[in-house]
Amino acid sequence: MAALCVSVLARRGWTRMVAGTARREFWSRSRKEEEPVVAETEEVKKEPILACPPSRSRTYMPPEDLQSRLEFRVKEICGSSLPSNWQDISLEDCHMKFSLLAHLADDLGHAVPNSRLHQMCTVRDVLEFYNVPVQDRSKFDELSVSNLPPNLKISWGY
Q: Residue 100 has what pLDDT?
A: 94
Please tell me the class of the 57-78+85-146 domain: mainly alpha
Q: Which has the higher per-residue pLDDT, 51 or 91? A: 91
Q: Residue 84 has what pLDDT?
A: 86
Of 24-28, 45-49, 134-138, where does the model show the most confidence?
134-138
Q: Residue 142 has what pLDDT?
A: 74
Q: Residue 139 has what pLDDT?
A: 73
Q: Residue 82 has what pLDDT?
A: 83
Q: Residue 150 has what pLDDT?
A: 83
- What is the reported pTM? 0.55
User: Does the pLDDT value for residue 27 go beyond 80?
Assistant: no
The average pLDDT across 29-43 equals 64
DSSP per-residue letters across the chain: -HHHHHHHHHSTTGGGEETTEEHHHHHHTTTSPPPPP----PPP-PPPP--PPPPPPPPB---TTHHHHHHHHHHHHH-S---TTGGG-B--SHHHHHHHHHHHHHHHS-PPPGGGGGG--BHHHHHHHHTS-B----HHHHHHHS---TT----S--
User: Does the pLDDT value for residue 94 go beyond 70?
Assistant: yes
Judge contact between 88 and 123, C-beta under 8 A.
yes
Q: Residue 143 has what pLDDT?
A: 73
User: Does the pLDDT value for residue 121 go beyond 90?
Assistant: yes
CB atoms < 10 A from the CB of 104, how many?
22
Q: Residue 83 has what pLDDT?
A: 85
| Candidate from 18-22, 25-29, 50-54, 126-130 with smallest mean pLDDT | 50-54
